[in-house]
Amino acid sequence: MKALVIGSGGREHTLAWVLLQSPKITEVVCIPGNGGTANLPHCRNLALNPEDFEGIARFALVNNLELVVVGPEQPLALGITDFLQAQGLKVFGPCQAGAQIEASKAWAKALMMEAGIPTAQAEVFEEEATALAYLKTQKVPIVVKADGLAAGKGVMVAQTLEAASDAVSEIFSGKFGSAGSQVVIEEFMIGQEASVLAVTDGQTIRPLVPAQDHKAIGEGDTGPNTGGMGSYAPTPVVTPALMERIQTEVLEPAIATLRRRGIDYRGVLYAGLMITPQGDPKVVEFNCRFGDPETQAVLPLLETPLDQVILACIEGRLESLPPLEWKPGAAACVVLAAEGYPDAYPKGMEISGLTEAADTGALVFHAGTQAKGGIITANGGRVLGVTGLGDTFESAITNAYTAVDKIHFEGMYCRRDIGYRVKRR
């Protein structure tokens, strides 16, 4: 079987690599892919826009690419699944109606309320004046969110009411385009965050091993948020007992409520959770896709061929799939970023040491890179994600950094403390 992967990040390089580990997958095409997928054996890139649904459908049909795996949220929110399915393709990723769970925070909040899923108390506003008046009655810290997709930039955890008001005004000023037509103001939750990515066929839902990511740019989880500077799995923060509760209190009610709304959700449901100091799981957000960089730590641990899992979801037979099998031990992914990220950053720097890094046994996943004439250059804020595997977190983390230290490009930045919470385990 030949597969198509939509997207260009570290998550998509990982998906392509993991799919090609399966004996059943003979070829992967990435749209548009990156420098890593360009050089991966049995994989190639196609320079189409992930939003060019007609072009993608035509290419997939002519070339017998039966299976399509969608990485990012944007094409899902625009209805890529509905479009490609109508052409007879097998698509992993929810339909447009289901993708609202990520594409509208107000919609997701309403769904959680209906489903009785534990989450932060929230109010939704369509007008600046009412939002500002409401803020005056609230205590800090408080969280202000643009409703729609804002590339991870639409969330402000405000420490003062002035900062919260400024965030509200900024969102309504149109800075985030149509994502800012509504504002969600919610209770600040304390605790440790964890990411539970689950696969579903719309009836049955099964979690993958739990992960954590480091969102902040700086060591000790300080400074502005990024797309994610590192990740690790399986995090011990989510104990088996807690995973049971997440299954029955979060994942199953979400799928049941989607179904009640007539939404046949097939793909990944990603629950971003806050584990409160009391040990209770509360939902921070849902995403309609694999996490990045969680995927770079989670999927290399999956022993069951990924195509089997994906096809079981698409074909509505997840319940009869044998339990997912996992490699023992742990994985840690360290992201290498360009200088200046998450603000403006340069591109075009030549990257060296990639072969030496791979020779250590670590998995070097490309994110923002480009391949040209045998040279790999940086082409994005997050440039690479280096995953180390090991019997323990300590060895997985050491293995990741041993490989990282072989790689160089001008201005390269990475956090040196990925996995500090679990390092001694």
Decide which of ligand GLY, ligand AMP, none touches 189; Cβ closer than 5 to 8 Å per partner kind.
ligand AMP
In the bound state with ligand GLY, the residue whose beta carbon lies nearer, of 7 and 312, is 7
Cis preceding-peptide flag for 293 (omega within 30 of 0):
yes
Decide which of ligand GLY, ligand AMP, none touches 193; Cβ closer than 5 to 8 Å per partner kind.
ligand AMP
Residue 399 touching ligand GLY (CB under 6 A): no
**Site for ligand AMP (CB under 6 A): how many residues?**
13
Residue 143 touching ligand AMP (CB under 6 A): yes
Residue 120 touching ligand AMP (CB under 6 A): yes
Contact with ligand AMP (CB under 6 A): which of 57, 117, 197, 284?
284
CB atoms within 10 A of CB 148: 22
Decide which of ligand AMP, ligand GLY, none touches 287; Cβ closer than 5 to 8 Å per partner kind.
ligand GLY
Residue 213 touching ligand GLY (CB under 6 A): yes
In the bound state with ligand GLY, the residue whose beta carbon lies nearer, of 12 and 292, is 292
Contact with ligand AMP (CB under 6 A): which of 97, 110, 132, 155?
155
Residue 326 touching ligand AMP (CB under 6 A): no
Residue 185 touching ligand AMP (CB under 6 A): no
Residue 228 touching ligand GLY (CB under 6 A): yes
Decide which of ligand AMP, ligand GLY, none touches 368; Cβ closer than 5 to 8 Å per partner kind.
none
Decide which of ligand GLY, ligand AMP, none touches 369; Cβ closer than 5 to 8 Å per partner kind.
none
Q: Which amino acid belongs to residue 365?
A: F
For the bound state, the minimum distance from the C-beta of residue 356 to ligand GLY, rounded and expressed in Å, comes to: 28
Stretch that binds ligand AMP, among 56-64, 187-195, 247-255, 314-322 (CB under 6 A): 187-195
Tell me the C-alpha distance between 296 and 185, whole Å. Answer: 32
Torsion sign across C-alpha atoms 229, 36, 389, 91: positive
Contact with ligand AMP (CB under 6 A): which of 171, 189, 298, 338?
189
Residue ranges that bind ligand GLY, judged by CB under 6 A: 213, 228, 287, 291-292, 294
